[in-house]
Structure 1
C-alpha cells in the first residue's frame, strides 16, 4: 500500500500565488496513495474559494473515510484557537487524514502549546523575532488494510525549536497503546536524525522536502513502529505548496 504526507499550503502554488482547486485535486490524484496525511488545510476560507479541501482531496483519491481536525477557527485576519471542538462549525484551518480503506477508530490528540511569545531566529533575519505559535493537533486512525490493521498518525508540529521535540515525544507516548504496526507522518519541522532519535521509531524515507523547487531540508517524515517496512520512497514536486509531498510504498508483516 502507499502512504503520503503533504503540507499543501492551503492549496496555493508558488508559480502563480493562486489556489486552483482543479490543480489541487490533480495533485492528490498523482499521489495515488491509500492513506494521506495533509497539513495546512483550509475549510470554508475565502482564500481557497470557500472549499472544504479535505472533501476535495477525499473525492480525488477515492477515500472511503476521512477526518479534519481544526487548529484555528475563523479567517486569517481574525484567527482564534480552535480549542475543545476539533471540527468547529465555522471557517477553519488544520490537518486532515484520509484513507481508501475503512477506519475502525479515530482519535484526535491535542498537543502541548506554548502559552507565550518566544524569540525565534529565521533565515535572512538579522535578529530573532517574537512569535506566538498556533495550537497543534494529531489525528490517529486504525485502518483496516488488505494486509491487516495499521495505525496511521498524522500531525503538523510547531516550528519553534525544542518545543517541536517536546510535542513529538508527547505524541509518541499518547499513541503507545494503539495497535501495531503503526506509522507517524507529517510536517514535523525537524531535521534528521532528530525525529528518529526523539521518537525511537524508524524512518521510512530519506529525501529533502523543503523548499519545493530546490529542496535542501527534510521537514516531512514517515516514521514506523512495528512490522512495517518501506519498499520505495520519493519526494514529489506537485506544482503547489512550498513543500514536496513525501510518498512511501510499504508492506506490512
Structure 2
C-alpha cells in the first residue's frame, strides 16, 4: 500500500496565489498512491475561491472513502474573525456542512472499516507573521489553533493523519497524545502528516521509525523534514519519495508500506 502526505497551504502556489478547483485537482493528479493525508484544507473560504477543497481532492484523487476534520470555523488569520471548533467536526462524502472552515483530511482509495478522530488542544504560544505593509504593526502575533488527528482502519493497517502545532513544545505534547491514542487502534499504525518537528525527534517522541528521510520544507528549497511517515509497529517501507507539487509550501512525501514478515 502506498501512502503520501502533503501540506497544501490552502491550495496556494509559491507566489501565494490560490488555485481554483481545476488547479487543485490537477496538482494531485500525478500522485499514484492508495492513501493521501492532507493538511491545511479550506472549505468554502473566500481566500480560496470558496472551493470545497476536500470534496474536490476526493474526486480528483478517486477516493470513495474520505473524511475531513475541521478545527477552525472561519478563516484562520490574525486579522479575521474565527473560532476554534472543539471538538473538531468530522465530515464525509454524505455530510453537508457549509464553510468557511479549515482543517485536515484523509483520502483512501481502499475500503475503510472504521474512522476515528482525536482533538488536540492548542498551545499558548503565538507565531509572529508579517502584517499588511500599509499598516502598523508590521508583525502580527498569530495564536495557535486547535489541532486534530483522524484515523482510517484499513485491511491490516491503520493510517493516522495529523497536523501538529507550530510551537515545538506543544507539538511534542500533542504527538505524545497521538501516540497513546494510536496504541489503542488496530495495528500496525502508520502516522502521516506535518508534525512541525524536524528530523529524528519526531520518530523518537512517537517511538516509531522514519520510512522517508529528506527535507520537505520549504517547498522551493527544502532544508527541513517536518512532513513524516512514521511506522508505529511492524511496518517496513520501500521506494520512498519526496516530490514538489504545483501547490503548497511543503513537498509531498510518499512510501510503499507492508507488514514486516508478510
TM-score (norm 2): 0.87
Equivalence for 2:213 = 206
Over residues 71-130 of structure 1, what are the superposed CA-to-partner deviations in whole Å (9 max), with x where a residue is unaligned?
10023421110112514643200000010011111111001322x4x36688xxxxx985
| C-alpha deviation, 1:213, in angstroms | 1.1
Q: Partner of 1:22: helix, strand, or coil?
A: helix
Equivalence for 1:96 = 105
Q: 1:104 to 1:53 in 2, by over 3 A?
A: same
Quick one: distance in 2 between partners of 1:85 and 1:248? 28
Quick one: distance in 2 between partners of 1:235 and 1:112? 30
Over residues 197-237 of structure 1, what are the superposed CA-to-partner deviations in whole Å (9 max), with x where a residue is unaligned?
10111110001101111101101000012222111111111
Residue among 227, 237, 246 paired with 1:230: 237
Equivalence for 1:27 = 27
Quick one: distance in 2 between partners of 1:16 and 1:52? 19
Structure 2 runs not aligned, ≥5 long? 91-96, 130-138
Equivalence for 1:110 = 119
Quick one: distance in 2 between partners of 1:151 and 1:129? 39
Q: How many pairs does the alignment contain?
A: 243
Over residues 30-69 of structure 1, what are the superposed CA-to-partner deviations in whole Å (9 max), with x where a residue is unaligned?
1111100000001111222212111111111111200010
Q: Are the aligned partners of 2:40 and 2:103 in contact in 1 as well (CA < 8 Å)?
A: yes
Structure 1 runs not aligned, ≥5 long? 123-127
Equivalence for 1:125 = none
Alignment of 1:43-62 (within 5 A): 43-62=43-62
RMSD: 2.0
Question: Which segment drifts farther, 68-77 or 167-176?
Answer: 68-77
Residue among 147, 154, 159 paired with 1:136: 147
Question: Which segment drifts farther, 189-198 or 72-81?
Answer: 72-81
Quick one: distance in 2 between partners of 1:106 and 1:23? 29
Q: Are the aligned partners of 1:63 and 1:99 in contact in 2 as well (CA < 8 Å)?
A: yes
Quick one: distance in 1 between partners of 2:88 and 2:113? 21
